[in-house]
Structure 1
């Protein structure tokens, strides 16, 4: 079992169902009880750190794992930590509402006895964490603002000793977010067009056919007026319209992968030393 707050740094964090959330990056400690209240968890290289409540959490030593009492989905949608690493009173209240945590029972009671009581209103400050509330920086850990934190002089660690100069530089954290790029609409409307179709037809016509009589005794001699009437026929083209389905159409969205080149300016600090040769400066 870890004995100090800084021992939690780097531990893998799992939710109630055993799904891995990330790794502990910072720990925030309650001023009054000394119990850890929040853990800042790194969930990925392109994601901002998420705050996870430590109330009811459990530790496992082999391997070092921290199981919290909230689901992974709730962590993904939780309010993110500000870039300065501070938790304000309003931010903490929003976290209480999001996770459904009782503000009066937000401390990790099982672990509070290892953290020890605060000294003169000052939170224990260890590990790799940030500060919150109204106080100034307190080493590498942080405190919440619910207990009236006042600014106190932190214990100086190695990185803040007067004989050290810390050189810093900016790094790019690249991520993506989905935005609306346009709209597409499928609209059906009616147009009229002319079609010309050739239809085969037939009709009857009259022609005279003459046949000479070779046997005069075979036919009677019918002398006088006589008429013969014949009915003629012809095809007439008729046109009817019917509505038939001919095609189904729909809009389909395809995901197309591409690449974009991002150019951004970053700053970094350089060290100059007066009184030394140039070769010694860059040694």
Structure 2
């Protein structure tokens, strides 16, 4: 499991898929609010004049020299829900992020958010 303290040091490093195809660069990490463990990352993708941040799960991710390899194909990641580079993930958007990767989504017992940016 990748530790939060370690992954913060990987910001601006390449994010690649399981076939080592570059997806983009690591922008930030979202933790699961129930466990405080890294859960998703946002990756900067797009044209130089039109960047956006896409979400990718960190389950099964591995770190290498200068890159973070995720367990999902580039095309799936690039088609995932996105936010503007200065945007914030709204609570209403969280279920769509999980659904895109066929992951189960549940709010906390009190209805609190599942993801928090760190």
Which of the five TM-score ranges fits, normalised by the shorter chain? 0.7 to 0.9
Shift of 1:84: 5.0
Q: Which has the bigger relative contact order, CA under 8 A and spacing at least 6?
A: 2
Structure 1: distance between partners of 2:85 and 2:25 = 18
Q: TM-score, normalised by structure 2?
A: 0.75
Q: Structure 1 segments of 4 or more deviating over 4 A?
A: none
Structure 1: distance between partners of 2:102 and 2:25 = 22
- Indicate the structure with greater strand content: 2
Aligned in 2, Cα 1:84/1:42: closer, same or farther, shift over 3 Å? closer
Shift of 1:101: 2.0
Q: TM-score, normalised by structure 1?
A: 0.34
Partner of 1:22, secondary structure, is strand
Q: Matches of residues 182-197 of structure 1 in structure 2 within 5 Å? A: none
1:52 aligns to 2:65 (yes or no):
no
Unmatched 5+ stretches in structure 1: 105-133, 135-144, 150-283
Per-residue Cα deviation, 1:59-110 (whole angstroms, up to 9, x for no partner): 11x2x21111111111221111156532233311101111112337xxxxxx
Contact map agreement 1:2 1:8 (CA 8 A) in 2: no
Aligned in 2, Cα 1:22/1:8: closer, same or farther, shift over 3 Å? same
Contact map agreement 1:58 1:66 (CA 8 A) in 2: yes
Q: Matches of residues 198-217 of structure 1 in structure 2 within 5 Å? A: none
Per-residue Cα deviation, 1:175-233 (whole angstroms, up to 9, x for no partner): xxxxxxxxxxxxxxxxxxxxxxxxxxxxxxxxxxxxxxxxxxxxxxxxxxxxxxxxxxx
- The aligned length equals 108
User: Residue 76 of structure 2 corresponds to which residue in structure 1?
Assistant: 74
Contact map agreement 2:52 2:84 (CA 8 A) in 1: no
